[in-house]
Chain A
Amino acid sequence: MINGVEVASHFRDVNHQYASNKEGIWLFMVTEILMFGGLFVGYIINHTIYPEVFAEGASYLDWHMGFVNTLVLIFSSLTMALGIYFNQISKPKWATWSLAITVLCGAIFMVIKYFEYTHKFHLGIFPGRMINPERMAEEGHPMQHANLGLYFGFYYCMTGLHGLHVLIGMGLITWVMIRNIRGEFSPKYYTPIEGIGIFWHIVDLIWIFLFPLLYLVG
């Protein structure tokens, strides 16, 4: 214990521990950028080669849904930043509320995503070869291009992987929120909230690019 903060035995002091924790989080963020980046590059390559297939696929997306989800995620990023801020200025109760609102925004995002997904499933739209042309014709949206499943392969992979990050982020924020209620954080020590905050902001960052890519440009 140094200055009331638990310091693991392999660290010299609090600063050393804090710097190492932050460096680890940033290295993890690099892997996130590269993972989603690979999908973005794949999308752009196939969009360039098959523009008509992607235009048809994008016509099934409603930008209003993506727009609302963008606003929800931006607001959640603000409350996440405030969750750290209120701990820095010794207002842990305010921090708890900020974190709770962040989790709630994540849940709203996932509910909207759920409605988008189930609507597509209803129309027979599934990724890759699982797409159901008979069902689509029955629902009054006959498939125009035989490889439409390619577009929805990208759509479900990218939004699904992003949605998984939102769910994991909600779990992690709930965990630090419970620790915060228990009084484990103070202006001297709030590293877990900060690390999870950086993760949550990268989820927002990825959505900031996914929204125009899928819903606006198509």
Chain B
Amino acid sequence: MTLATTAPAFDRDAYLRMDLLRLLTCGSVDDGKSTLIGRLLYDSKTVFEDQIDAVKQATLRRGGEGADLALLTDGLRAEREQGITIDVAYRYFATPRRKFIIADCPGHVQYTRNMATGASTANLAIVLVDARHGVTEQTRRHAFIASLLRIRHLCLVVNKMDLVDWDEGRFEQIRADFEDYAARLDIHDVAFIPASALQGDNIVQRSTHTDWYGGPTLLHHLEHVHIASDRDLIDPRLPVQWVIRPQTEDDPDYRAYAGQIAAGVFRVGDEVCAMPSGFLSKVKSIRIGEQQLDQAAAPQSVAIELEGDIDIARGDLLCRPNNKPQVGQDLDAMLVWMHDQPMTPGKKYAIKHTTRWGKCMVTDLRYRMDIQTLSRDTESQQLALNDIGRVRLRTTTPLLFDPYRVCRETGSFIIVDEVTQGTVGAGMILGEAD
């Protein structure tokens, strides 16, 4: 087997300029999600020859011809046939501008659980609609979950435009329907793209059928959507993960607090406050490995030395004295339930928030959200698998939190069953219970 020898010259600077965009794809069954992802991978030349060969063979076996791009990501299809749990799958591709991580969320039974999982780390959501069907219940549900998990950018791909003769009116109507709905949600940046995943129109290549459309192709949009300012550089938060203490002859006194900066910037010389103790100190050094830095920002994983001798452990948090997270044990939160066994108020669970474990109990289920109608069911006594509800929570240890809408990292938590040790719920803090 021979590799291409006409490789482009190595260009370090080019790939050092690439950033990372995490995105989520959602759509109902048969809207064309697999075809769309296959198209992105194929047209961005992420697919290797042996993979395309495998897809061509599989297409033949299924009685088709050519390469059915949907089969590039057909893992889920096989599962569906076998009735195995359907799960988020991750795919990767890159262009010279960006590396992309796609969380591919199947739109079936386990929908909410899967989509919440994929959405939790996504910068952008692609919501697919079939041009013939327009905005459906399912579309509204996707948009709702995207807004609940605070995905900043949404891209509505109106697919199968070839089946409606590339009708501008149809596209505009779908856009208006969706805008109408999105106005009620907390989503600010929405792009609309008329496309045919099957034929490749407006995915990577510009369509020749859409003279009336002045916007970008999907890939162009993904490459250029501005995500740098989504990062919070104002409120410094470092949940301490690990204390580095070599206690060796070379470094007898070195002690650094290691963790991934959740938000904001830390600079050498900054006054910092350790929570929950409230002790004050100053940043003496910031390191990533052997490199000393003057400053570091989210999401870097760093080791910070402080002046003086203060006692800080895993689960504590560094911030600025005049910019602290809230501290509380009684919280209001939105909770996504992810397990067959329903959540019942009064039961004790383990809870993980930043790098801190504790125990918790739901003291009150305020309402269960009916995602079909977006109405609130206040009669509900429990949250079943894939339910979303607003709850009041009491924790045994105080949490050092920010509202989820301000900071995903310090505003989120998971709930763990104390018997099975499985993750059964995921929560987003609204604020301290009033």
Physical interaction between A and B:
no
Give chain B's interface residues, CB within 8 Å of chain A.
none
